[in-house]
C-alpha cells in the first residue's frame, strides 16, 4: 500500500511469522479509513467525552487483594482486568460535554462510578490505592501480574525477550529490565470525540498538553517501597521497561514505543505509519487494526471504536495522567486535559517546537512544577518558572472549555482545584510531605507507606 513504507517490526518476522499477516490486516482497514469509504460522524455540535479509570486495590490490612478476588469483583461490576493482579479498570459512558451543564454531568458520572467501585471493594473489606503507583508491591513477586489473560502473558514476554541492551538496570532506583514494573500503575484517561479534519492537529496538541497535565497532576513518586524522587515516574518506567529498540534504531532517532513520537505528526497516514512500525505481537489478523492500535502506547493516541458499526466513533485518548487522590480530582484533571487540547480550537494554534515540548515532558515527570518550563506566549516560546507557566496554561484550558459552552460555575470549580495545586504542589508533593511527617526519624519502609495509605495523620 502506497501509504506505508517498510515497517520497523519486519525484523521480527522470522521469529514471528504471523506479524506479516497482522500488518496486512492493519493496512486493509487503514486504507479504508484513508480512502473515505469508512465515514465518521461530525461531532462539532455534540462533542462527547468519557473516562477510563484504573485502580489498584488492597485489603484492610494493606496487602494487595488476590487475583481471584479481583477477578470476582471485575465479573460482578463489569470491570476490565489489568496487568496488575490487584488492578482493574472501569469506564464511563460518553457524555455530551457541549450540552448545557455537560461538564457537570461528566463529573457526576465519574463520581457515581467511583461510588459503585468503592462499594464493591468495601463489600470484600478492601479499598483502592489512590496513587498512580501502588508503592507497597514488591517487584520481585511474580504474583503481582495477571497470567490468566493471554495478552498479559504474550505481550510482557515479548518485551522481556527483546528489550534493548542499552536499557539500564534501574531508573530512579527501580528495576526496569522487567515488564512487571508496570503492574502497579494506575492512570485516568479521557476519551474525546474528534473529527477527521481536526484529529491530527488535536493529537499533536495533546502531546504539548501532556507535560502541563503531568506537572499539575503528578501522583506517582513512591514505588517498590522506595522514594524515587520523581514527581511522577510512571511514564518513564513504562518507557524504559518496554524499550526494544536496536542500536541502529537508537542512532537513527527512532522513538521508544512508549511516550512521545519522534516528531509531531504531519497527517493521518503519518500516524498510521507509527502504529505500523510497532510489533503486532498477538496473532489475530481479522482484528489486526484494533489490536495494533491497542498496543500503541504514545501519551495520546487515536481510537476507532465500533469501526464496523454505524455508531462508529473517532476518539482521542489522552494517557499520561496518574490516578488522583479523589474522584473529583480525577474529573478536574480530565477537564484540564480536555480544555487544554480544545484550546487549539479557541485561538491557541501555535505549538511549541518539538524539542522544547520534549524538554517540558521530561522536566514535568522529574520535577513537577519546580523547574522552569516553556510555554507559547504571544506566538513565541517563552521560558517561565513552573508555577507561572501552569497559571498561563490553565487559562488556555479554561478558554478551551469555554469554547464548548462550559459555565462560569463549572470553570470556577475547576480553577479552584488547579490553582490550589499551583500554590501548594501536585499530589505527589503532598503525599511526600505526609510520608515525611509520619515516618519522622524512622527509615522509609513499606510499613511506613502502608501507614500513610491506610490513613495515618
4 part of a folded domain: no
Beta bridge partners of 189: 52
DSSP letter (8 states) at residue 278 = S
Write out the residue range of the structural domain in which residue 81 sits: 40-260+299-453
Pairing of strands 187-193, 321-322: antiparallel
> From CA 451, how far away is CA 457, in angstroms rounded?
9
Secondary structure element (H or E) that encloses residue 32, with its range: helix 18-35
Q: How many domains does the chain have?
A: 1
67 part of a folded domain: yes
- CA 437 vs. chain centroid, Å, equals 30
Set of cell numbers at residue 99: 450540552
Set of cell numbers at residue 449: 507507606
CB-based contact 148:71 (threshold 8 Å):
yes
28 part of a folded domain: no
269 part of a folded domain: no
Secondary structure element (H or E) that encloses residue 95, with its range: strand 95-96
> From CA 182, how far away is CA 137, in angstroms rounded?
11
Per 3-state DSSP, the chain is made up of helix, strand and coil in percentages (nearest 5) of 45, 15, 35
> From CA 214, how far away is CA 219, in angstroms rounded?
8
282 part of a folded domain: no
333 part of a folded domain: yes
> From CA 300, how far away is CA 259, in angstroms rounded?
8
* pLDDT score, position 223: 98
Q: Would you give per-residue pLDDT tens digits along the chain (457 residues)?
A: 467 899 999 999 999 999 999 999 999 999 999 998 888 888 867 899 999 999 999 999 999 999 999 999 999 999 999 999 999 999 999 999 999 999 999 999 999 999 999 999 999 999 999 999 999 999 999 999 998 899 999 999 999 999 999 999 999 999 999 999 999 999 999 999 999 999 999 999 999 999 999 999 999 999 999 999 999 999 999 999 999 999 999 999 999 999 999 999 999 999 999 999 999 999 999 999 999 999 999 999 999 998 888 888 999 999 999 999 999 999 999 999 999 999 987 767 678 999 999 999 999 999 999 999 999 998 899 999 999 999 999 999 999 999 999 999 999 999 999 999 999 999 999 999 999 999 999 999 999 999 999 985 4
Pairing of strands 170-171, 126-129: unpaired
281 part of a folded domain: no
Cα angle vertex 304, ends 300, 310, to 5°?
A: 155
The closest alpha carbon to 331, from 323, 319, 320, 341, belongs to: 323
> From CA 205, how far away is CA 351, in angstroms rounded?
7
Query: Which residues, other chains included, contact 229 with Cβ-Cβ below 8 Å and sequence gap of 6+?
Result: 172, 221
254 part of a folded domain: yes
Q: Kindly tell me the burial class for residue 331, based on how many C-beta atoms sit within 10 Å of its own C-beta (0-12, 13-18, 19 or more).
A: buried
* pLDDT score, position 67: 96
Instruction: Indicate which CATH number applies to the domain containing 394.
Output: 3.30.590.20
- CA 134 vs. chain centroid, Å, equals 16
CB-based contact 406:388 (threshold 8 Å):
no
Amino acid at each position: 500500500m502506497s501509504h506505508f513504507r517498510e515497517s520497523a517490526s519486519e525484523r521480527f518476522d522470522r521469529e514471528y511469522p504471523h506479524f506479516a499477516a497482522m500488518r496486512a490486516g492493519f493496512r486493509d482497514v487503514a486504507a479504508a479509513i484513508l480512502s473515505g469509504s469508512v465515514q465518521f460522524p461530525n461531532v462539532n455540535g455534540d462533542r462527547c467525552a468519557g473516562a477510563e479509570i484504573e485502580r489498584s486495590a488492597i485489603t484492610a490490612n494493606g496487602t494487595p487483594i488476590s487475583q481471584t478476588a479481583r477477578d470476582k469483583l471485575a465479573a460482578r461490576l463489569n470491570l476490565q482486568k489489568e496487568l496488575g493482579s490487584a488492578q482493574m479498570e472501569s469506564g464511563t459512558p460518553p457524555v455530551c460535554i457541549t450540552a448545557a451543564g455537560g461538564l457537570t454531568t461528566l463529573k457526576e458520572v465519574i463520581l457515581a462510578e467511583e461510588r459503585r467501585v468503592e462499594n464493591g471493594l468495601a463489600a470484600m473489606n478492601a479499598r483502592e490505592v489512590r496513587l498512580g503507583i501502588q508503592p507497597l508491591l514488591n517487584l520481585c513477586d511474580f504474583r503481582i501480574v495477571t497470567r490468566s489473560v493471554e495478552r498479559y502473558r504474550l505481550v510482557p514476554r515479548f518485551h522481556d525477550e527483546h528489550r534493548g541492551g542499552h536499557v539500564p538496570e534501574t531508573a530512579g532506583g527501580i528495576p526496569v529490565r522487567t515488564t512487571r514494573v508496570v503492574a502497579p500503575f494506575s492512570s485516568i484517561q479521557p476519551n474525546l470525540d474528534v473529527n477527521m479534519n481536526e484529529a491530527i492537529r488535536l493529537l499533536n496538541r495533546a502531546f504539548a498538553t501532556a507535560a502541563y497535565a503531568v506537572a499539575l497532576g503528578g501522583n506517582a513518586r513512591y514505588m517498590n517501597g522506595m522514594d524515587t524522587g520523581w514527581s511522577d515516574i510512571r511514564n518513564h518506567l513504562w518507557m524504559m521497561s518496554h524499550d526494544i529498540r536496536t542500536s541502529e534504531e537508537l542512532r537513527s532517532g527512532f522513538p521508544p514505543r512508549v511516550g512521545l513520537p519522534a516528531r509531531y505528526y504531519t497527517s493521518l497516514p503519518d500516524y498510521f505509519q507509527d502504529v505500523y512500525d510497532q510489533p503486532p505481537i498477538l496473532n489475530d489478523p481479522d482484528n489486526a487494526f484494533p489490536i495494533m492500535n491497542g498496543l500503541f502506547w504514545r501519551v495520546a493516541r487515536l481510537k476507532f471504536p465500533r469501526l464496523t458499526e454505524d455508531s462508529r466513533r473517532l476518539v482521542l485518548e489522552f494517557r499520561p495522567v496518574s490516578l488522583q487522590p479523589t474522584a473529583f480530582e480525577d474529573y478536574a484533571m480530565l477537564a484540564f486535559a480536555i480544555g487544554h487540547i480544545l484550546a487549539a480550537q479557541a485561538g491557541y494554534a501555535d505549538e511549541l517546537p518539538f524539542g522544547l515540548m520534549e524538554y517540558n515532558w521530561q522536566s514535568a515527570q522529574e520535577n513537577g512544577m519546580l523547574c522552569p518550563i516553556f510555554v507559547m506566549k504571544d506566538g513565541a516560546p517563552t521560558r517561565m518558572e513552573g508555577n507561572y507557566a501552569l497559571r498561563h496554561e490553565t487559562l488556555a484550558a479554561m478558554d478551551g472549555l469555554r469554547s464548548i459552552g462550559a459555565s462560569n460555575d463549572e470553570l470556577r470549580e475547576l480553577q479552584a482545584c488547579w490553582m490550589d495545586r499551583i500554590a501548594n504542589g501536585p499530589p505527589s508533593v503532598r503525599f511526600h510531605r505526609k510520608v515525611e511527617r509520619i515516618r519522622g526519624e524512622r527509615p522509609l519502609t513499606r510499613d511506613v507507606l502502608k501507614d500513610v495509605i491506610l490513613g495515618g495523620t
